[in-house]
Chain A
Amino acid sequence: MISANLAAIFYLVSGILFILALRGLSSPDTSRQGNYFGIAGMIIAIVVTFLSIGNFSTSLVYVVIFLVIGGAIGAFIAFKIPMTAMPELVAGFHSLVGLAAVFVAIAAFLNPSAFNLGNVGDIKLASLIEMSIGAAVGAITFSGSIIAFLKLRGIMSGAPITFSGQHILNLILGIGIFVLIFYLCRTQSTNIFWTVIIISFLVGVLLIIPIGGADMPVVISMLNSYSGWAAAGIGFTLENSALIITGALVGSSGAILSYIMCKAMNRSFVSVILGGFGADNSTDDKKEKKDQKPVKSGNAEDAAFLMKNASSVIIVPGYGMAVAQAQHALREMVDKLKKNDIKVTYAIHPVAGRMPGHMNVLLAEANVPYDEVFELEDINNDFANSDVAFVIGANDVTNPVAKTDPKSPIFGMPVLDVEKCKSVLFVKRSLSPGYAGIDNELFYKENTLMLFADAKKMTEDIVKNLD
């Protein structure tokens, strides 16, 4: 048994270790060390909690058993999950944090004396507010993440689900939560507490269903942020600095990522939250006109020929590469090109894929060295001096319309200047528009060669033709 003060100091230490864990991610070299800091911080926090309770009874055995069960499930998932499924995994994990926050808040509400928060029916006012906010945010995180998970997994359609009065309903429910918390504080009623949680679950669902597939990077970052605020809310209830520090870190981390993602799409956070993007059909007539424009299409042989005779190639990967699992074939292709002394680099748009940094992980998995992979602003000027751009599974992020047509829904979004390359190879299954629902002008450019095929199959065929 250790004193509360000593325990608090240890919690502070683990909070600092968590800060260092994030700090390590400033470069891949220091990142692994950072992860160890994080693990150390977690071990300290758990051990200190055991020591400070000092109740080494039979229940401790059960705690350890449950910990091991959860740990085994977690470890199993971590080793089994394919890298392409990272967005779903992260969404799933967010839901667990949210639900854990709800359960801890419920436990604290039902048995406040265990947490030194007063007695049943007479919980300290501040604690009651903190735990109900923690529970509400946790519940929103949980149900929202479940919806995001289902959408990312493809179990639920990625298309936005909208109905009239949706935003007003959300607003009413949101205000309702606050009113109920106010009454909860006055009455300490268990029923009101449960109602707050149930409404929050509902709000989480309603918040995420109108948001379309293309906005998933924002959603997933946003839920990341929410899970942090939920943890912080519980941290206040438990008067635990490790939890408060972590909650604040995670909350601001998710908020920054959401901001970066919104900026990369030139959309305001509010418009993403309100949702409905990619659902409007106003571009339909425009598309019909463009469909008559000539498109040059080629095969793997043409592509291999073009690249063989190039001196520099830039690869532009997108979500389609992830879907087709083409990253390993791509890497093989690049190796062949490099053998012919062709300079190859990768250009990654911040919203390529379904979560921040998704493409980088996939390329890393395929053993692409990270110093060959560049972000939009670092590589965009190189397109003009390169011979071939190989666009694989990306679409909207290369659309020149974002720079030229003020009427386009993606106007102003920073895009990769792919069209400035001498020639563009565009691997795509069909001419269908991308998630934004708009046609890509790049398809009809003089210097674009469309390669209609599955990304993996096409890349493999090109590899064969490079010999």
Chain B
Amino acid sequence: MEIDPFIFRLSIFILSIFIGYYVVWSVTPSLHTPLMSVTNAISSVIIVGAIIAALAGNSENIFNTSSIFGFIAIILAAINIFGGFLVTQRMLQMYKKKKDKKK
């Protein structure tokens, strides 16, 4: 009997939870705020679904009901992607060691 592809996705999911568990515990507490902003940015990879939805409209009717939801989701996710990565970058630039100080 063939294995349902769902099981493979479930396996990826469960294993990723474990990876997440160990990776996140190794994050230094002083970087917990950037951790939150970067997880925010990467979870916006949901834009993939938004793009599919937006492009599903046919050429005569680009903005049908379902693609409109896709287009709005693109804006929301894009705000998050750009905002999330850039604000993380801005924060990380500020973390400096003593020796890096301009004297």
- Residues of chain A having any CB pair with chain B under 8 Å: 11, 14-15, 18-19, 21-23, 25-28, 31-32, 34-35, 38-39, 41-42, 45-46, 49-50, 53, 55, 57-60, 62-63, 66-75, 77-79, 81, 83, 86, 89-90, 93-94, 96-97, 99-101, 103-104, 106-108, 110-111, 113-115, 126, 220-221, 224, 227-228, 231-232, 234-254, 256-257, 260, 348, 350, 355-358, 360-361, 364-365, 367, 369-373, 375
Q: Once bound together, how far apart are the Cα atoms of A78 and B51, in whole Å?
A: 23
Chain B, residues 26-48, CB within 8 Å of chain A (1/0): the string is 11111111111111111111111
Chain A residue nearest to B21 in the complex (CB): A252
Within 8 A of A (CB), among B49-100: 49-57, 59, 62, 64-67, 69-98, 100
Q: A94-B40, A356-B29, A370-B97 are in contact. List 15 more A-B contacts (CB 8 A).
A: A42-B41, A45-B48, A59-B55, A73-B79, A77-B87, A78-B86, A90-B37, A96-B44, A103-B69, A104-B50, A240-B48, A251-B17, A356-B36, A367-B96, A375-B29
Give the interface residue-count category, chain B: 35 or more
Q: Once bound together, how far apart are the Cα atoms of A325 and B96, in whole Å?
A: 20
The answer, among B39, B84, B90, B98, for a CB contact under 8 Å with A371, is B98
The answer, among B64, B74, B93, for a CB contact under 8 Å with A66, is B74
Min CB distance, B9 to chain A, in Å?
Answer: 6
User: A107 contacts B45, CB within 8 Å?
Assistant: no
The answer, among A19, A232, A241, A369, for a CB contact under 8 Å with B19, is A19
The answer, among A27, A55, A66, A220, for a CB contact under 8 Å with B36, is A220
A-B contact count (CB 8 A): 385
Min CB distance, A35 to chain B, in Å?
Answer: 5
User: B34 contacts A234, CB within 8 Å?
Assistant: no
Chain B, residues 10-23, CB within 8 Å of chain A (1/0): the string is 00111011011101
User: A78 contacts B83, CB within 8 Å?
Assistant: yes
| Residues of A contacting B97 in the complex (Cβ-Cβ under 8 angstroms) | 28, 369-371
| Residues of B contacting A25 in the complex (Cβ-Cβ under 8 angstroms) | 27-28, 31, 34-35, 38
Q: Once bound together, how far apart are the Cα atoms of A38 and B76, in whole Å?
A: 18
Min CB distance, A355 to chain B, in Å?
Answer: 6
Min CB distance, A139 to chain B, in Å?
Answer: 13
Min CB distance, A133 to chain B, in Å?
Answer: 13
| Residues of B contacting A348 in the complex (Cβ-Cβ under 8 angstroms) | 29-30
- Residues of chain B having any CB pair with chain A under 8 Å: 5-6, 9, 12-14, 16-17, 19-21, 23-57, 59, 62, 64-67, 69-98, 100-101
User: A104 contacts B70, CB within 8 Å?
Assistant: yes
User: A75 contacts B82, CB within 8 Å?
Assistant: yes
Q: Once bound together, how far apart are the Cα atoms of A369 and B103, in whole Å?
A: 13
Chain B residue nearest to A61 in the complex (CB): B62
What DSSP secondary structure best describes chain B's contact surface? helix
Min CB distance, A224 to chain B, in Å?
Answer: 6
Q: Once bound together, how far apart are the Cα atoms of A260 and B87, in whole Å?
A: 23
Say yes or no: A38-B48 contact (C-beta < 8 A), given A22-B20, A66-B54, A357-B35.
Answer: no
Q: Once bound together, how far apart are the Cα atoms of A15 and B33, in whole Å?
A: 21
User: A369 contacts B48, CB within 8 Å?
Assistant: no
User: B92 contacts A42, CB within 8 Å?
Assistant: no
User: B32 contacts A257, CB within 8 Å?
Assistant: yes
User: B39 contacts A86, CB within 8 Å?
Assistant: no
| Residues of A contacting B19 in the complex (Cβ-Cβ under 8 angstroms) | 19, 248-249
Q: Once bound together, how far apart are the Cα atoms of A174 and B62, in whole Å?
A: 37
User: B48 contacts A252, CB within 8 Å?
Assistant: no
Say yes or no: A75-B83 contact (C-beta < 8 A), given A57-B59, A107-B66, A236-B9.
Answer: yes
Chain A residue nearest to B63 in the complex (CB): A62
Say yes or no: A78-B21 contact (C-beta < 8 A), given A31-B95, A249-B16.
Answer: no
19 A-B pairs with C-beta separation under 8 A: A42-B44, A42-B81, A45-B45, A73-B75, A77-B79, A100-B44, A100-B47, A106-B69, A107-B49, A107-B69, A108-B53, A110-B66, A110-B69, A224-B39, A243-B45, A248-B16, A253-B39, A257-B32, A375-B29
Q: Once bound together, how far apart are the Cα atoms of A365 and B41, in whole Å?
A: 21
Most chain-B CB neighbours within 10 Å: which of A78, A81, A113, A367? A78
The answer, among A67, A93, A111, for a CB contact under 8 Å with B84, is A93
User: B38 contacts A62, CB within 8 Å?
Assistant: no
Min CB distance, B19 to chain A, in Å?
Answer: 6
Say yes or no: A244-B59 contact (C-beta < 8 A), given A97-B43, A114-B52, A373-B30.
Answer: no
Q: Once bound together, how far apart are the Cα atoms of A55 and B31, in whole Å?
A: 41
Q: Once bound together, how far apart are the Cα atoms of A66 and B76, in whole Å?
A: 9
Say yes or no: A364-B9 contact (C-beta < 8 A), given A63-B54, A97-B44.
Answer: no
